[in-house]
Amino acid sequence: MKIPNAMLIICYKNNYSRLGYSLSSKRVRVEEKILEHELVPKHELLTKEEAIRVLRELGVRPEQLPWIRASDPVAKLLNAKPGDIIRVIRKSPTAGTSIAYRFVVVG
């Protein structure tokens, strides 16, 4: 079996050498998997039409939404560019699910 990327979680003593692994050889790429993580809510990139509709509904200019950096790992994965709007759908302890929007900014 070929495993391209892996994250190693070891409990108790971190005696890597005994396990025969060298972890320093290659940085483990976990970023591509973050969207699957339980604690990362669902993110969606809005289309232009959707974005305009959402902004009209909320009655705000885009920069009045909370911001997210284009360099944010999730924004990068969605290929979001500054000026885009991302919808975040998250589980909420009070409301079941809740929807929020983020405006993508440079950085």
Partner 1 sequence: MVESEKVVKGVKFGILSPEMIRKMSVTAVVTPEVYDENGIPIEGGVMDPRLGVIEPGQRCATCGNTLAQCPGHFGHLELAKPVIHIGFVRHIFMLLKATCHSCNRVKIPEDDVIKYRDLYRRLKDRWPQLANSLVEFIRQKASKALECPHCKARQFKIRLEKPATFIEEGGRGKLYPDVIKQWLSNIPSSDLEVLGLDPETARPEWMIINVLPIPPIAVRPSIVLETGMRAEDDLTHKLVDIIRANEKLKEALNSGAPEIIVEDLWDLLQYHVMTYIDNELPGIPVAKRRSGMPLKTLSQRLKGKEGRFRGNLSGKRVDYSARTVISPDPNLDINEVGVPYEVAMTLTVPEYVTPWNIDKMREYVLNGPYKWPGANYVIDPAGRRLDLRYVKDLKALAESLKPGYIIERHLVNGDIVLFNRQPSLHKMSIMAHRVRVLPGKTFRLHLAVCPPYNADFDGDEMNLHVPQTVEARAEAEELLLVEEHILTPRYGGPIIGGIQDYISGGYLLTLKSTLLTKDQVSDLLATIDYSGEIPEPAIMSPVEAWTGKQIFSLLIPEDFNFIGETRLSSGNLKCTSEECFWDTLLIVKKGKVLAGVIDKTVIGSQQPKSLMHYLISEKGVRFGADFMNKAFKLFLRYIEMVGFTMTLDDIKPDEKALEEAEKVIKDSYSEVHKLIEMFRTGQLEPVPGRTLSETLEIRILDVLARARDDAGSASIRYMSLMNPTYIMARTGARGGNLNITQMSVVLGQQSVRGERIWRGFRGRVLPHFKYGDLSPEARGFVQSSFYKGLSPLEVFFHSAGGREGLVDTAVRTSQSGYMQRRLINALQDLYVEYDMSVRSSYGELVQFRYGEDSVNPKKTAFGKAVDIERIIVKNIGWRMSL
Which chain residues interact with partner 1 by CB under 8 A? 12, 58-61, 63-66, 92, 94-95, 98-101, 105-107
Angle at 33 between CA 51 and CA 100, to 5 degrees: 30
**CB nearer partner 1, residue 20 or residue 66:** 66
Closest separation in Å from C-beta 66 to partner 1:
7
CA dist., res. 70 & res. 25, Å (int) = 29
Q: How many CB atoms lie within 10 A of CB 83?
A: 14
Residues near 16 by Cβ (< 8 Å), separated by ≥ 6? Answer: 10, 22, 23
Residue 70 CB, nearest approach to partner 1 (Å)? 12
Supply the minimum distance, in Å, between the C-beta of residue 48 and partner 1: 19
Residue among 6 and 60 whose Cβ is closer to partner 1: 60
Instruction: Using the minimum distance from each CB to partner 1, give the nearer residue, 5 or 97.
Output: 97
Q: Which residue blocks in 59-104 are alpha helix, DSSP H?
A: 73-77
